[in-house]
Amino acid sequence: LVLRARILRAQALFYRGDPASMLAELDHVDALLVDQPDDRFAQEQAVLWRLRADALIRAGRYDQAATAARQALAIAEQRLSDQPR
């Protein structure tokens, strides 16, 4: 629940027009997920990278946004393709 709450907070920061704070929040969430080697939080990781791409687009950092979007797609394809929806 903590991860989902922090992701929701990051989304709220995005809609408030504060991509820098959103990126800082996503960095914090990412640090929590680094120690999770299994696929238990794969969906949260994919969402995190997609949100990071959104924030980077809003910040005008397009090359980094493309990299983040590719990472989100890679996680979704590799780790979520067999999970039930």
> Is the pLDDT higher at 71 or at 83?
71
Q: How many CB atoms lie within 10 A of CB 36?
A: 13
Most confident of the following: 40-49, 63-72, 73-82: 63-72
Q: What integer pLDDT is reported at residue 85 of this predicted model?
A: 54
Among 36, 79, 13, 14, which residue's Cα sits nearest to residue 3?
36
Crossing angle for the helix pair 62-79 and 42-58, to the nearest 10 degrees: 160
Say what the pTM is.
Answer: 0.81
Q: What is the Cα–Cα distance from 66 to 53, expressed in whole angstroms?
A: 7
> Is the pLDDT higher at 85 or at 41?
41
Between the two ends of the chain, the Cα-to-Cα distance in Å is: 19
Q: What integer pLDDT is reported at residue 37 of this predicted model?
A: 67
Amino acid symbol at 69? A
